[in-house]
C-alpha cells in the first residue's frame, strides 16, 4: 500500500472511530458512578469533552451551560431511579450496565420500555432544572404565566414560582441535540428510531409541564385566611413517573411517513391516528425478557426474587417465565423491642430472623 493510500485509510479509520463514539455516547451516563464528572459543583468546562458522555452538539452546550450539568445529572439519576422503581417487579426491571450506554444493547431495540426510559429521563431534567430555578441555584429569570381560570379574584397570583418554561426550553435544546447530531440517518428504520426518540423526549417534558398545578397558601390573623397567594407547583417526581408508567401501558406502535411524520398503526387511547404530545410511541415489539441474551442486552430473570403469593408481574409464575423457582433460607437482622428513653431517644435491640426467599430458575 502506498503512502497516499495509507493516509486515506488512517483518516477513514479515525472518522469511523469518531462516528462510533458519537453514536454510543449518551448523556444518561452522567448518572453512572464511573462517569468522569465526579465533582459536579466544581464542574470544569474541559470535562464537557469527556468521551462517551455527550454527543458533538451536547459538548458545545455543556460548555455554554456548564453550571446546569449538576442538575442534568440529577435529572438522569432521578429518571433512571424512577424507571427502576416503576419496573422493579417486571421481567425487564430497567437494569443498568457498567458502560456509558447505561442500559446496554437493549437500547438498540425501539420497544415501549425504551420509549419509557427516554421519556422519564427527559422528564427528570425538566423537573430538576425547574426546582433549581425555584430555589435560586440557577438564575433562570421569570416568565409569568397567565392567571389560571377559576381562581378567586381576591387571591393573588404569583406566577414565577416553579415555572417550567425555562427548564423545558433548556431540556429540549440539550437532550434533543443527541438526536439532531445524527443529521441524515440511513434507512427507514433509523429515521423512524430518530423520530421515536425525539417524540418520547418531548412526551417526558410535556408530562412535567402539564403536571404543574396551582397551589395556594392562606394569610391572615390566626389563620383566618383573609388572603391567599397562589403559584404554580410541580408534584413530586414519583407522581410524574406514575403518569409515564400509564403512558407506557397505553403506548402506541408508530411508523414514519415519507414526509417524516409520525403516524400510529392503530388508534391511540384517545381515538386519534396521530400521537398526542404525551403519548409514548415505539417501533418494535418488546424482546423476550425471560432469557438472557447477550446480543440484545437482555439480562433475563434467572436469579431474580419472586413473590410466591402474588398473581401479578412479580409472581413466581410470570416472573420466572414458567421455569419454576427454588426456596432459599436467609438470615436478616432488624431493629426490635424499641423503647423510648427520657429524654429524648429511642433505643432498640437487634433481632435475628430467618426468612424464606423464592428465586427464579
Instruction: Let me know whether 245 and 323 are in one domain.
Output: no
Per residue in 313-339, pLDDT tens? 999 999 999 999 999 998 999 999 998
What is the average pLDDT across 273-289?
89
> Which domain-ending residue is among 269, 291, 313?
291
Domain that holds residue 159: 3-291
Residue 7 has a pLDDT of 41
What is the average pLDDT across 167-171?
94
Instruction: Let me know whether 209 and 308 are in one domain.
Output: no
In terms of Cα–Cα distance, which of 147, 306, 291 is closest to 230? 147
Domain of 322, CATH number, reads 3.30.2460.20
Instruction: Let me know whether 308 and 283 are in one domain.
Output: no
pLDDT of 36 over the 60 cut = no
pLDDT of 10 over the 50 cut = no
CB count, 10 Å around CB of 184?
Answer: 7
Instruction: Let me know whether 235 and 346 are in one domain.
Output: no
For the chain, what is the domain count? Answer: 2
- Region of 94 (left: φ > 0; alpha: ψ -120 to 50; beta: rest) is left
Per residue in 51-63, pLDDT tens? 778 888 999 999 8
Least confident interval from 175-179, 217-221, 319-323? 217-221
Instruction: Let me know whether 219 and 165 are in one domain.
Output: yes
> Which domain-ending residue is among 291, 322, 338?
291
> Which domain-ending residue is among 266, 291, 316?
291
Residue 221 has a pLDDT of 67
Report yes or no on 111 lying in a domain. Answer: yes
Q: How far is CA 8 from CA 4, 15, 18, 20, 22, in A?
A: 6, 11, 15, 18, 21
Per residue in 132-151, pLDDT tens? 988 888 888 655 566 666 66
Instruction: Let me know whether 286 and 306 are in one domain.
Output: no
| Mean pLDDT, all residues of the chain | 82
- Work out the pLDDT band at 269, boundaries 50, 70, 90: low
Instruction: Let me know whether 92 and 134 are in one domain.
Output: yes
Amino acid at each position: 500500500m502506498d503512502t497516499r493510500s495509507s493516509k486515506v485509510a488512517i483518516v477513514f479509520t479515525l472518522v469511523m472511530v469518531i462516528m462510533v463514539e458519537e453514536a454510543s455516547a449518551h448523556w444518561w451516563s452522567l448518572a453512572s458512578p464511573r462517569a468522569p464528572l465526579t465533582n459536579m459543583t466544581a464542574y470544569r468546562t474541559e470535562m464537557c469533552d469527556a468521551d462517551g458522555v455527550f454527543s458533538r452538539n451536547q459538548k458545545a452546550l455543556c460548555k455554554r451551560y456548564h453550571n446546569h450539568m449538576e442538575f442534568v445529572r440529577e435529572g438522569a439519576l432521578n429518571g433512571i431511579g424512577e424507571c427502576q422503581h416503576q419496573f422493579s417487579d417486571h421481567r425487564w426491571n430497567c437494569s443498568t450496565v457498567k458502560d456509558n450506554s447505561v442500559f446496554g444493547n437493549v437500547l438498540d431495540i425501539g420497544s415501549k420500555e425504551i420509549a419509557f426510559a427516554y421519556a422519564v429521563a427527559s422528564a427528570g431534567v425538566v423537573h430538576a432544572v425547574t426546582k433549581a430555578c425555584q430555589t435560586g441555584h440557577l438564575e433562570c429569570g421569570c416568565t409569568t404565566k397567565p392567571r389560571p381560570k377559576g381562581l378567586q379574584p381576591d387571591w393573588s397570583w404569583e406566577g414565577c414560582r416553579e415555572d417550567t418554561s425555562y427548564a423545558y426550553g433548556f431540556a429540549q435544546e440539550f437532550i434533543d441535540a443527541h438526536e439532531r447530531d445524527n443529521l441524515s440517518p440511513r434507512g427507514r428504520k433509523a429515521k423512524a428510531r430518530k423520530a421515536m426518540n425525539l417524540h418520547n423526549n418531548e412526551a417526558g417534558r410535556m408530562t412535567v409541564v402539564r403536571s404543574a398545578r396551582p397551589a395556594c397558601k392562606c394569610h391572615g390573623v390566626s389563620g383566618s385566611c383573609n388572603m391567599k397567594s397562589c403559584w404554580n407547583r410541580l408534584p413530586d417526581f414519583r407522581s410524574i413517573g406514575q403518569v409515564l408508567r400509564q403512558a407506557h401501558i397505553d403506548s402506541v406502535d408508530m411508523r414514519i411517513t415519507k414526509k417524516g411524520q409520525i403516524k400510529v398503526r392503530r388508534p391511540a387511547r384517545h381515538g386519534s391516528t396521530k400521537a398526542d404530545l404525551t403519548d409514548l410511541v415505539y417501533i418494535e415489539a418488546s424482546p423476550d425478557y425471560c432469557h438472557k441474551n447477550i446480543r440484545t442486552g437482555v439480562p433475563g430473570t434467572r436469579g431474580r426474587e419472586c413473590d410466591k403469593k402474588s398473581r401479578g408481574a412479580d409472581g413466581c409464575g410470570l416472573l420466572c417465565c414458567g421455569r419454576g423457582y427454588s426456596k432459599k433460607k436467609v438470615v436478616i437482622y432488624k431493629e426490635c423491642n424499641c423503647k423510648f428513653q427520657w429524654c429524648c431517644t429511642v433505643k432498640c435491640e437487634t433481632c435475628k430472623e430467618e426468612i424464606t426467599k423464592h428465586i427464579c430458575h
